[in-house]
């Protein structure tokens, strides 16, 4: 009689592999989430700079700024899944704010919270470390 050897993984080998994969996932997941938050923050800073350009164009034509929370067209500034955008304007100044929602509110850069980012008519970007330059 001929015997056939069966080749398979033992339960212990399988558990070791699952353990290694679990450890790798536990180590890499926080880094992945930080990268995602940083990417979303970049989107928020780009949006604020875009609103600023819109406001400055409006100011060049009409010598004042649009109403609170609107663009020069009168459209309301839309929120996204990760940020809410607000503006406070006067005829001579404005402050644009991006406020993080959900997990994005855990975003930090160098120990500084980036959950609320602002940009004003003088070009001041706060917190400075969150603007990526």
- Ranges of residues in the chain whose predicted pLDDT is under 50: none
Return the structure tokens found at 83. 């940020």
130 burial (CB, 10 Å; 0-12 / 13-18 / 19+) is buried
**What Å distances lie between residue 37 and 31, 51, 113, 131, CA to CA?**
10, 21, 12, 13
- 91 with 98: CB under 8 angstroms? no
Tell the residue number behind the tokens 């005829």, with chain if given: 91
pLDDT, tens digit, 9 for 90 and up, residues 24-42? 888 888 888 888 999 999 9
Give the model's pLDDT for residue 4: 67
What pTM value is reported for the model?
0.79
Angle at 37 between CA 107 and CA 47, to 5 degrees: 100
């Amino acid at each position: 009689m001929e015997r056939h050897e069966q080749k398979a993984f033992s339960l212990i080998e399988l558990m070791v592999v699952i353990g290694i994969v679990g450890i790798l996932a536990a180590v890499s997941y926080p880094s992945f989430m930080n990268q995602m938050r940083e990417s979303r923050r970049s989107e928020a800073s780009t949006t604020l700079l875009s609103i600023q350009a819109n406001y400055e164009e409006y100011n060049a034509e009409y010598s004042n700024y649009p109403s609170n929370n609107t663009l020069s067209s009168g459209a309301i500034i839309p929120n996204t899944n990760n940020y809410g955008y607000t503006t406070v304007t006067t005829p001579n100044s404005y402050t644009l704010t991006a406020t993080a929602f959900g997990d994005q509110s855990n975003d930090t850069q160098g120990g500084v919270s980036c959950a609320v980012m602002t940009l004003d008519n003088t070009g001041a970007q706060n917190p400075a470390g969150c603007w990526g330059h």
